[in-house]
Structure 1
Amino acid sequence: MDVAEAAGVSKATVSKVLSGSQELSVRPETRRRIRDAAQALGYRPHSGARALAGASTHALALLVPALANPTYVTIARGTYQRARELGYLSLLAEDFHGQEADEAFSDLVQEGRVDGLLVASARPGHPLVDVLSRSRVPHVFLNRAVEGSGRNVTMDVALSSVTALNHLHSLGHSSIGHLAGPPGIAPSDTRKKAFVRHAQTLGLAAAPTVSGDFTEDGGVAAALELLTQTEKGQAPITALYTSSLAQAIGAMGAIRSLGLRVPEDISVVGNDDLPIAGHLHPPLTTVAMPLHELGVAAVDALVAAMEGAPPSDVVVPTEPRLIARGSTAPPRGRV
């Protein structure tokens, strides 16, 4: 039994009502009966059919992996402001890695509740990536690239490691550790590989890496592992470069818990820059990434796709830049 038969109306009427069209004059009780029948039968309107009916929502959705990560605050601000300029509303949602979340966003795609998706949570194996590969809903991936998708909006993440290492090396550090993000996350893997590669280019005495969450707790755990498990014969680490600002805050706490000082004993550079970095004790040296520009570029790419442009990868041209503050200094014995 289909929805039209269950509700006692024509298929054309069902199509108009479920696509959100206001062109057809239908009594409220009939609309209610159609929606009740659709729900009972588990019917989901096809997003393509909604688009053909002209039922644009003028809404975009930004899916981020964690609202607690301050990095995404700046990205979200860029997407929201650019979307408003172009006549769209940008919605923000968190991917909390649960089945209900995956189903909710699959529904969002399949039911055409938004005109396009900005996906910053394309973790490996995410069900939404598969759903989107089979969907006609316009979408782009930002900050986390999906290989082969041809619709990635990214930054020069590798250059962030080069920038941090050049700064620390110029101060005289030759034993520098890196707190990487979780393995399997594209930006983290890229940053880690660039760190190891450029450390070799600079001829550093040691460049060990440890993976951890992008959080403060992740920074504490990774820093303690690096600073307390130095291999025999390896020079003591005198500087750390972290994958996130939150990790850097945790690392500074871990350093103090070991009775060491920042920057007198250990210099710290954090990735990404937010106003709080300048108010820490000591103020944190950071590599500022073009996060706002990333959000703007992602909206531009998505709207272009919605208007029929072929998908293409975009790299934000703004390069990472070092913001030197009080958390970095020459190692002991160097002036």
Structure 2
Amino acid sequence: MRKVRAMSEKSPKEQRVRLIDVADAANVTKSVVSRVLSGDPTLAVRDETRDRILALAADLAYEPHAGAKALAGSRSKALALLIPDLTTPVYARIARGAYQRARERGYVVLLAEDREDSQSQSDYTDLVSAGRVDGLLIASSREGHPLLADGRLRTVPHVFVNRTVPDSGRNVSINQSSASANAYRFLFERGHRKIGHISGTDTLSPAVERERGFDQAASDLGAEKPMVVRDDFLESGGYRSAELLMREHPGITALYAGTFSQSVGALKALRDLGIRVPEDVSVLSNDDLPLANYLVPSLSAMAMPLDELGRLAVDTLVDQLEGKAVADVVLEHDAVAVERGSTARARPSP
């Protein structure tokens, strides 16, 4: 006699067909159903039974739960995204794109903060070797990082996101040089000639690439080389940098900050110094975020495809897991400035 487990008293929309429901309908165990649906080639079962299970799963509209899929089969169907700072809004945009694409491709994404003072920096590869995740999306690759130093990454599927590690052949990045060159031209077209650049430390590839593009655009236009200060990619770093630039170069009429967080710090520093934005000094940020509309003044920023970068990183890693060749991928994007209240034409020279 075939046994059918009773379904809970819910509306059809609320009901979710479970693995046990398919097993009861087919009069087999949950394990057999799971192995049939996952295509396990080692399972010894009659073709008639296999066909019956597949047909019943289709008739019942069975769909594996994301968490269950992550625990089933030889793969975890989970990826780990390592970011340097959970408080940085830019990484939220990258993570959102990664989550969306991972779900479309049948994976889940686990988020990990990879701070310099972390006790578990060198343990992330163990997540893969233990079968808890299938690969790593690494948005943190500072110089001397344990993941790069101990050599264990050689045996782990991974890609670098929004960071470039020379000769790795696994970099998924945006053309930062092109974007910052467009940022310089935007300010130049508005009459700015003395421009300060708030950058990150020269051990971080995005900062280096942005500086290169910004300086090259100035050179191409025959303009004065931008004044550069390097500090942390944080509000505090932007505050200190803006303060230093305005103290040492009071003729500056525009600031370009490498990150949104630095821009927020720069706005605060200028306000504390009694410098009006944009009447005295314009401020342009590298990353555009919804929050930019709600600052005072609203912040002009370069629109960057951060969501798309997250999706592309997942595609590149999953393709690697499926046996495709690994290569660097650069997301070419003609970054444009979203002009708001923090930029204006340069003030006339005294």
- Normalized against structure 2, the TM-score is what? 0.76
State the partner residue of 1:277.
292
Residue identity opposite 1:201 in structure 2: D
1:198 corresponds to which residue?
217
Structure 2 residue identity aligned to 1:112: G
Instruction: For residue 337 of structure 2, give the secondary structure of its aligned residue in structure 1.
Output: strand
What amino acid sits opposite 1:245 in the alignment? F
Deviations 1:21-64 (A, max 9, x none): xx9xxxxxxxxxxxxxxxxxxxxxxxxxxxxx952111001000
Q: Distance in 2 between matches of 1:156 and 1:291?
A: 12
Letter in 1 for 2:119: E
Asked if the contact 2:181/2:216 (under 8 Å) is kept, the reply is no
Q: Is the 8 A contact 2:81 2:112 kept in 1?
A: yes
Greater alpha carbon shift after TM alignment, 310-319 vs 213-222: 310-319
Runs of 4+ in structure 1 deviating by more than 6 angstroms, as ranges, are none
The equivalent residue for 1:314 is 329
**Residue 179 (1) aligns with residue 198 (2):** yes
- Work out which of the residue numbers 43, 56, 66 in structure 1 matches 2:85: 66
State the match for 1:297 in structure 2.
312
Distance 1:276 1:296 in 2: 22
Q: What is the DSSP-based 3-state SS (H/G/I as helix, E as strand, rest coil) of the residue aligned with 2:75?
A: coil
In the TM superposition, what is the alpha-carbon distance from 1:109 to its structure 2 partner? 3.4
C-alpha distance in 2 between matches for 1:218 and 1:258: 16
Q: 1:283-322, CA deviations, whole angstroms, 9 ceiling, x for partnerless residues?
A: 1100011101100000000010000011111111333221
Q: Distance in 2 between matches of 1:152 and 1:246?
A: 24
Equivalent residues in 2 for 1:224-235, closer than 5 Å: 224-230=243-249
Q: Which of the numbers 223, 234, 237 marks the counterpart of 2:242? A: 223
Which residue is equivalent to 2:121?
A: 102
Moved more, 292-301 or 108-117: 108-117
Question: Relative to structure 1, is the Cα distance of residues 236 and 92 closer, same or farther in structure 2, using a 3 angstrom cutoff?
Answer: same
What is the CA-CA distance between 1:206 and the residue it aligns to? 4.7
Secondary structure in 2 aligned to 1:118? strand
Displacement of 1:207 in angstroms is: 1.1
Q: What secondary structure is seen at the aligned counterpart in 1 of 2:213?
A: helix
Return closer, same or farther for 1:244/1:322 CA change in 2, 3 Å cut-off: same
Q: Which amino acid aligns with 1:303?
A: V
Instruction: Give the structure with higher Rg (CA).
Output: 2
Q: Distance in 2 between matches of 1:185 and 1:263?
A: 30
Report 1:236-255 matches (<5 A). 236-255=251-270
Question: What does the per-residue CA deviation read over 1:63-86, in whole Å, with 9 as the maximum and x for residues that have no partner?
Answer: 001111111000000000000000
Mean alpha-carbon deviation: is it higher for 258-267 or for 200-209?
Answer: 200-209
Distance in 2 of aligned mates of 1:294 and 1:320:
13
- TM-score between both structures, scaled by the size of structure 1: 0.80
Q: Distance in 2 between matches of 1:108 and 1:313?
A: 24
Give, as a single letter, the amino acid of the residue that structure 2 aligns with 1:156.
N
2:218/2:226 contact within 8 Å kept: yes
Deviation at 1:178, TM superposition (A): 0.2
| Distance change >3 Å, CA 90–CA 99, structure 1 → 2 | closer
Q: Distance in 1 between matches of 2:184 and 2:122?
A: 42
- The within-5 A match list for 1:126-141 is 126-129=145-148, 130-135=150-155, 137-141=156-160
Whole-angstrom CA distance in 1 between matches of 2:299 and 2:152: 39
| Code of the aligned partner of 1:139 | H
Shift of 1:203: 2.3
Alignment deviations for residues 134-166 of structure 1 (CA, whole Å, 9 cap, x no partner): 31x211111001111111101110012111111
Distance (Å, rounded) in 1 between the aligned partners of 2:163 and 2:169? 13
1:324 is aligned to 2:343: no
| Residue ranges of structure 2 left out of the alignment (5+ in a row) | 1-41, 43-71
Query: How far has the Cα of 1:122 moved from its partner?
Result: 1.2
With over 3 angstroms needed to count, the CA separation of the structure-2 counterparts of 1:69 and 1:99, relative to structure 1, is: closer
Identity of aligned residues (%): 48
Aligned counterpart, 1:333:
348
| CA apart distance, 1:132 | 4.2
* Count of residue correspondences: 280
Whether the 8 Å CA contact 1:171–1:329 is kept in 2: the answer is yes
- Trace 1:70-149 onto structure 2 (pairs within 5 A): 70-98=89-117, 100-129=119-148, 130-135=150-155, 137-149=156-168
CA distance in 2: counterparts of 1:131 and 1:111, whole angstroms: 17
Letter in 2 for 1:319: D
Structure 1's unaligned 5+ residue stretches are 1-22, 24-52
Partner of 2:74: 55
Aligned residue type for 1:90: V
| Residues 282, 344 of structure 2: 8 Å contact kept | yes
For residues 225 and 170 of structure 1, the distance between their equivalents in structure 2, rounded to whole angstroms, comes to 25
Superposed CA deviations along residues 168-189 of structure 1, whole A, max 9, x for unmatched, are 1111011001000122000101
CA displacement at 1:125 relative to structure 2: 1.3
User: Which amino acid in the other structure matches residue 293 of structure 2?
Assistant: G
